Amino acid sequence: MTLTKATNRSSTLILPKSFLFLGIFSGLFFLTSCTSLDTLVVNVEKPAHITLPNSIENIVIVDNTVPQPEDVGHFEYRFGQEAGTPVKIEVNDDVNYILAEALFEDISDKEYFKDVIFYEHPLREDANYEDILQLDSTLIKEICIANNADAIISLDRFLVSTASHEEDFEFGTTMRFLDLKMDIRFQVYSKEGQAISPPLYINDSIYWSATYNQNTPLSDTIPSREDAMKEAARYTAEKIADALAPYWSNELRWYFGDIKAANKKMAANDWSGALALWQSAYDSETKNIKKKARLASNIALAYELKDELKNALRWITTSCQLFEETQSTGVDEENLLRATSYKEDLLERYNDFKLLDMRDKASRE
Q: 178 and 71, same structural domain?
A: yes
Q: 70 and 143, same structural domain?
A: yes
pLDDT score recorded for residue 35: 67
Asked whether the whole model's pTM tops 0.75, one would answer no
Please check whether residue 53 lies inside any domain of the structure: no
Which domain range does residue 342 map to? 10-47+250-364
DSSP one-letter code for 287: S
Q: 239 and 257, same structural domain?
A: no
HSE (side-chain half, CA atoms, 13 Å) at 294: 22
Q: 309 and 327, same structural domain?
A: yes
* pLDDT tens-place values along the chain, 365 residues long: 222 223 345 544 443 333 332 333 333 333 334 568 888 888 888 888 888 888 899 999 999 999 999 999 999 987 767 778 999 988 778 999 999 999 999 999 988 899 999 998 889 989 999 999 999 999 999 999 999 999 999 999 999 999 998 888 777 788 889 999 999 999 999 999 999 988 999 999 999 988 888 777 777 788 999 999 999 999 999 999 988 988 888 889 999 998 999 999 998 999 999 999 999 999 999 889 999 999 999 999 999 999 899 999 999 999 999 998 886 777 778 889 999 999 999 998 888 877 776 654 444 34
Q: How far is CA 197 from CA 48, 142, 187, 255, in A?
A: 13, 20, 6, 41
**Tell me, what amino acid is at 87?**
V
CA separation for the pair 182, 32 (Å, rounded)? 46
CA separation for the pair 127, 117 (Å, rounded)? 26
- Is the distance from CB of 322 to CB of 300 less than 8 angstroms? no
Q: 192 and 172, same structural domain?
A: yes
pLDDT score recorded for residue 202: 92
Number of domains in the chain: 2
Phi/psi at 147 (5° precision): -110, 10
Q: 211 and 73, same structural domain?
A: yes
Nearest to 64 by CA among 158, 203, 159, 161: 158
In which element (H, E) is residue 141 found? helix 137-147
pLDDT score recorded for residue 283: 95
CA separation for the pair 219, 179 (Å, rounded)? 17
CATH of the domain at 215: 3.30.160
CB neighbours (10 Å) of residue 227?
10
Q: 63 and 27, same structural domain?
A: no
Q: Compute the C-alpha angle 231/234/235, nearest 5°.
A: 85
CATH of the domain at 295: 1.25.40.10
Please check whether residue 276 lies inside any domain of the structure: yes
Q: 304 and 175, same structural domain?
A: no
Strands 115-119 and 151-168: unpaired
pLDDT score recorded for residue 311: 95
Q: 235 and 103, same structural domain?
A: yes
Q: 302 and 230, same structural domain?
A: no
